[in-house]
Amino acid sequence: MAALLEHESQIFLELFHHDGLVVCARGLGIDRLLLRFLRLYCEPASLVLVLNTSPAEEEYFIDQLRSDGVVHLPRRVTNEIANNTRYEFYTQGGVIFATSRILVVDFLTDRIPANLITGILVYKAHRIIESCQEAFILRLYRQKNKQGFIKAFTDNAVAFNTGFCHVERVMKNLFVGKLYLWPRFHVAVHSFLEKHKPEVVELHVAMTPAMLAIQTAILDILNACLRELKRYNPALEVEDLSLENAIAKPFDKTIRHYLDPLWHQLGAKTKSLVQDLKVLRTLLLYLTQYDCVTFLNLLESLKASEKAFGENSGWLFLDSSTSMFVNARARVYRIADEKLNQKGKGSGSEKRDVKKETELKRELVLESNPKWEALREVLKEIENENKNSDNVGGPGQVLICASDDRACAQLREYIITGAEAFLTRLYNKTFGKDENAGEVWIKDRKAIKSKGNAKPDTGPQAKKAKLAASSKQNKHKKQQDRTIIQMIGKTEEEKREDVEVEDNKELSSSQEGDNEETIPEDFDVNLPSDCYYGIFKDPLTIIHPLQGCGDPYALTRVLHEVEPRYVVLYDAELTFVRQLEIYKASRPGKPLRVYFLIYGGSTEEQRYLTALRKEKEAFEKLIREKASMVVPEEREGRDETNLDLLRDARTASVSADTRKAGGQEQKGVQQTIIVDMREFRSELPSLIHRRGIDIEPVTLEVGDYILTPDICVERKSISDLIGSLNNGRLYAQCVSMCRYYKRPVLLIEFDPSKPFSLIPRGSLQPEISSNDVTSKLTLLTLHFPKLRILWCPSPHATAELFEELKQNHPQPDAETAMAITADSEILPESDKYNPGPQDFLLKMPGVNAKNCRALMTHVKSIAELVTLSKDELAKILGNATNATQLFDFIHLTYAEALAKVKSKR
């Protein structure tokens, strides 16, 4: 493990001596800090739990510690470890990664030795809200262990910007009293990184006139859509919904945050506008991210889908939209007939006719991406420098970073084949019917080149295209489990063979090669399969996506294994820029040059600057909050005075009842609720426990919560309710509950951030419909008269309701609850009857829930029921009409029944 940098050592020491929450700037190495703490506690003498990590992150941490030579590596607790061996597993000590569901159950059942825990490390701490499982674990831990530490880490300062006193509430849930803030502008961080600055070359690439015109058009339409949205919803007049924020990444979340609670009340127009904003943001991204053919393809498909569905939100009719289509087409082809170049003149039908006539008269323009040219120049410069690099220890490796897989695949093909060949292939694939036009264009280009009007393509990609072609003849040797470093050290003959390697991932449909394209053979590389897009011969060149990797640390791994001297940032991403600063600072004396390609005056540049500004503002707000924050002494919960650890929801103002023994404190029975194991994914068990009710986690087949020996509750969220009504699972669950419990309850629980309404206003249907949720619920209550339905707006309301339902009732027994299964033959003592014949009996005319018991008490079997006379039946059922219905059902033939119906008519 690389030694900690100056500021990292400072953070480590602060946090080591005093528990607290560390908020770092993105990319400043919060993972390196957590890794240092893991390294410290990887020994059998301590037991440290790590919360809130994903499997990929756990894998990365374990790999790093393994490469450091740590003997006692962190272990994972999964479902595979049997319950009875779990206690032994924990007592072996060391660092343990566990899912929150397993930890909650283990704390509640005392399978984990709480008093032996050295401490808890919480990753991504900005997610710890009061009702989440991690907060529940921390509360259980603090109730049972007053000595251990709690240290929390996060690099998402912007998350604390929402809500009132968000950071204070998170600290309260974490039971920490100290807040450590480390923004990029912190004096220690700034001064240290200034000393180890990488050489940065900023290239502000100019967009082509057509691209600028398209960008202006999209921004105009975006602005119009936002204005329209605010006009329809005056409550949305908030600064968050500005054009600057509309082009930023988290805008979708922002708009859902405002509209989700009233989504069911919104009109079709508003919903359509929200969808349009999403589409327009995608168009903006495609414009700067990909080539002209991909952009036009998306645009044409939008128009085609609008026509197909007959739905048009209106933006396609704006002048800006016309301008956008004209310019997008002009980047790909132009039509020979001059008349067609007059923008927007003449009626649409005339245009279509002319277009049909001149379909084959298209001349391909295929405008190259300006950034591609800049990248070519950069690679050429690096190639020249590497020729004269003997004084700095030979040629340097190159790492090119683009935003996602598609961009990487496009760059790879561009570097191998050049812009013309790549765009022509893409055009023929996407707009295949115009292959003739493509061929004509290639011939024209060749003719121009032979006259010497165009510069010969002497860039690195020409060289690499030759290499790629030659690699077709070369026989590749299969290389097993080689790291990139081992590959670099190969002999010259091997190097000549291994010209270009590509990972096993298939390219998406838009990049799949034609048969003519040379695709060199693959071989195994000891790196994650989705982590890189191309490795070229000297100098070693890798293209890597910034996002979309299965492993969140794929880029970090590549950076430290390849150790590039040149990094080309084809797309700007704040976290990785900071990561490069840390990477340079941790390798003092070794050169690093970063080429920063960005479209000047584009939304891409604006997006990057907005992300920077948002983070800076978030830190400034946190600094102000920290200055005025009041932290009570008992916040850390190391003694009994912390009120958050008290398990009683009653307020102090509730006066004692003086009628009962003069107001003396009554010794009440400890309330218990039996909870199904699978329910620990929800926040309800945490809130029930908070109210002072004990929880017994067991595996239940019937019901989710057993409140009393008689009350069984099946909890459904709205999505779950709709799903189980559609697939019939809820019917089967209700059958089981009604059979084994006197008071079966269906609890319908709503999300507090969403509307407390099952269906939109005005969509209640007068007739019962098989597709309607309310109709299905109506049928359910008709089928099960015993079933009670509870409607709860939030889990907090549910917990309160459960407490009230339990008052003055006996406590349930876990053994009995576990013994009841859906097809159980062992029935409760109160039930003496077989469920099969009982269900059959209830389906007969004249028999209902009220008289069914009397009938079963007097008649031993259905065979005996058939022999009874009408008078005997009337005596048992207590109603002559019911007796007649049942008697006729059993004894009348089909013909007699038909005759009887006809005579009634």
pLDDT digits (tens, 9 = 90+) for 406-446: 888 888 888 888 888 888 888 888 887 544 554 555 555 55
Q: What is the pLDDT of residue 769?
A: 67
pTM given for the model? 0.77
Coil, strand or helix: which one is 696? strand
Kindly report the average pLDDT of the chain as a whole number: 78
Structure tokens belonging to residue 342: 């007059």
Q: What is the pLDDT of residue 704?
A: 92
Q: What is the pLDDT of residue 503?
A: 34
At position 467, the amino acid (one-letter code) is L
Q: Does pLDDT of 478 surpass 60?
A: no
Which one has a higher pLDDT value, 201 or 493? 201
pLDDT digits (tens, 9 = 90+) for 130-188: 768 888 899 999 988 889 999 999 999 988 887 777 889 899 889 999 999 999 999 99
At position 673, the amino acid (one-letter code) is I
Q: What is the pLDDT of residue 662?
A: 55
Cα 690 from Cα 650, distance rounded (Å): 11
How many beta carbons lie within 10 A of that of residue 632, not counting itself? 11
Helix axes 100-108, 133-144, angle to 10 degrees: 30
Share of the chain above pLDDT 90, in %: 21
Would you say 467 and 537 are in contact if contact means Cβ atoms under 8 Å apart? yes
Strand partners, 181: 23
pLDDT digits (tens, 9 = 90+) for 607-652: 899 899 999 999 999 999 999 888 888 888 777 777 777 766 554 4
Q: Does pLDDT of 267 surpass 70?
A: yes
Q: How many residues does the chain have?
A: 905
Q: What is the pLDDT of residue 590?
A: 86
Would you say 568 and 378 are in contact if contact means Cβ atoms under 8 Å apart? yes
Contacts of 439 (CB under 8 A, 6+ apart): none
| Lowest-pLDDT range of 193-197, 238-242, 709-713, 779-783 | 238-242
513: left (phi over 0), alpha (psi -120 to 50) or beta: beta
Cα 701 from Cα 628, distance rounded (Å): 52
pLDDT band at 666 (very low <50, low <70, confident <90, very high): low
SS (H, E, C) 579-634: HHHHHHHCCCCCCCEEEEEEECCCHHHHHHHHHHHHHHHHHHHHHHHHHHCCCCHH
| Lowest-pLDDT range of 57-61, 248-252, 759-763 | 759-763
Quickly tell me which residue has 């109160």 as its tokens.
830
Span 107-131, mean pLDDT? 88
Specify the DSSP element, H or E, that contains 674: strand 672-676
394: left (phi over 0), alpha (psi -120 to 50) or beta: left
Coil, strand or helix: which one is 813? coil
pLDDT band at 673 (very low <50, low <70, confident <90, very high): very high
Strand partners, 376: none
Question: How far is residue 726 from each of residues 722, 765, 773, 805, measured CA to CA in Å?
Answer: 6, 18, 9, 30
DSSP code, position 146 = S
Q: Does pLDDT of 399 surpass 50?
A: yes
pLDDT digits (tens, 9 = 90+) for 218-265: 999 999 888 888 888 877 767 777 888 888 777 877 787 777 777 767
User: Backbone phi, then psi, for 747, in 5-degree steps?
Assistant: -100, 120
pLDDT digits (tens, 9 = 90+) for 842-887: 788 888 877 887 888 888 888 888 888 888 888 888 888 888 888 8
Strand-by-strand arrangement of the 398-402 sheet: 199-205, 593-599, 566-569, 398-402, 541-545, 534-536, 500-501
Q: What is the pLDDT of residue 59?
A: 92
Q: What is the pLDDT of residue 622?
A: 93
Would you say 795 and 704 are in contact if contact means Cβ atoms under 8 Å apart? no
Span 28-45, mean pLDDT? 91
Question: How far is residue 798 from each of residues 19, 717, 720, measured CA to CA in Å?
Answer: 34, 12, 17
Coil, strand or helix: which one is 352? helix
Span 737-756, mean pLDDT? 85
How many beta carbons lie within 10 A of that of residue 519, not counting itself? 15
Alpha helices in 233-347 (DSSP H): 243-246, 251-259, 268-289, 292-309, 319-332
Cα 837 from Cα 500, distance rounded (Å): 73
